[in-house]
Amino acid sequence: MKILIVEDEPKTGDYLKQGLVEAGFSVDLLRDGTDGLHHALTESFDLAILDVMLPGLDGWGILGGIRRAGKDMPVLFLTARDAVDDRVKGLELGADDYLVKPFAFSELLARVRTLLRRGAKTTGAEFLRVADLELDLLRRRVTRAGKRIDLTAKEFALLELLLRRQGEVLPRSLIASQVWDMNFDSDTNVIEVAVRRLRAKVDDSFEPKLIRTVRGMGYVLENPLCA
Ligand code: CA
């Protein structure tokens, strides 16, 4: 699941991003309100976490822009200001939740999960499935043929990407940028190793094999019985 953070304070932004990535989410962090709104409208996110006071455009402005564009992703506000007025204004504008700084990361994570669960219920996007493989996006759990499979956060993100785009050949460069946040040139070996490990866990002791290498192109996940 993909989360957008717009926060201009470097420490808070980096801390949030790191924590959420470690929890298995894919995160884009922006520092400026105008860029943040543009990103919210051009990319697809399951949740936005917005600071109120931002350069460019404030958090209210971003929220207004998101809602005017008809996007109903949940929005969580972060702010140092805890005035009742702000809270009311945020909720009136269509914010889903409000967290006052400073906050414990565990509390943020709990709110994030609640909002994602609520969002997933309306879109039905709580699980991703192919054949007998199932990803539980909120609990970050994977099962195949009913058996629990333990994946690292990166393996989970990789499998989620392959599943979301099943049937599509994903080039290594795309996998590198989406899962590792890095350029193709950095180290493609990282991807090969990760795919091998992922296959060992989700494919080796099961049939049919779901992840396939397309030589010279990349990787594809599909149910060969339906392809
Ligand atoms: Ca700020």
Ligand 1 midpoint to CA 214 (Å): 45
Ligand 1 midpoint to CA 79 (Å): 8
Ligand 1 midpoint to CA 217 (Å): 43
Q: In what order do the strands lie in the sheet with 127-130?
A: 127-130, 133-136, 141-144, 147-149
186 three-state secondary structure: coil
With a cut of 70, list the residues of the chain below it in pLDDT: 81-84, 86, 119-125, 183-188, 227
The answer to whether the Cα torsion of 170, 172, 175, 181 is positive or negative is: negative
Q: Is 81 left (phi over 0), alpha (psi -120 to 50) or beta?
A: beta
Ligand 1 midpoint to CA 59 (Å): 9
Ligand 1 midpoint to CA 74 (Å): 20
Ligand 1 midpoint to CA 90 (Å): 15
Query: Would you tell me the crossing angle of helices 153-164 and 188-202 to the nearest 10 degrees?
Result: 80
Class of domain 127-221: mainly alpha
Q: In what order do the strands lie in the sheet with 218-221?
A: 170-171, 218-221, 211-214
pLDDT, tens digit, 9 for 90 and up, residues 12-46 = 999 999 999 988 888 999 999 999 999 999 998 99
Ligand 1 midpoint to CA 75 (Å): 16
Ligand 1 midpoint to CA 31 (Å): 9
Ligand 1 midpoint to CA 89 (Å): 17
Calpha distance 207→211 (Å, rounded): 11
**Got the DSSP string for 120-164?**
HHHHT-SEEEETTEEEETTTTEEEETTEEE---HHHHHHHHHHHH
pLDDT at residue 100, as a whole number: 85
pLDDT at residue 82, as a whole number: 61
Per-residue CA distances from 137 to 70, 117, 177 (Å):
24, 9, 20
204 three-state secondary structure: coil
Residue 49 Cα to chain centre, angstroms: 12
211 three-state secondary structure: strand
Which single residue is written with the structure tokens 């204004």? 89
- The domain made up of 2-123 is a member of CATH 3.40.50.2300: yes
User: What amino acid is encoded at 64 in this protein?
Assistant: G
Ligand 1 midpoint to CA 65 (Å): 18
Ligand 1 midpoint to CA 54 (Å): 5
pLDDT at residue 164, as a whole number: 87
Calpha distance 36→4 (Å, rounded): 8
Ligand 1 midpoint to CA 9 (Å): 6
Alpha carbon distance, N-terminus to C-terminus of the chain? 26
Per-residue CA distances from 143 to 1, 123, 133, 146 (Å):
18, 22, 6, 5
Ligand 1 midpoint to CA 13 (Å): 10
Per-residue CA distances from 18 to 10, 15, 57 (Å):
12, 5, 24
| Every domain of the chain and the residues it spans | 2-123, 127-221
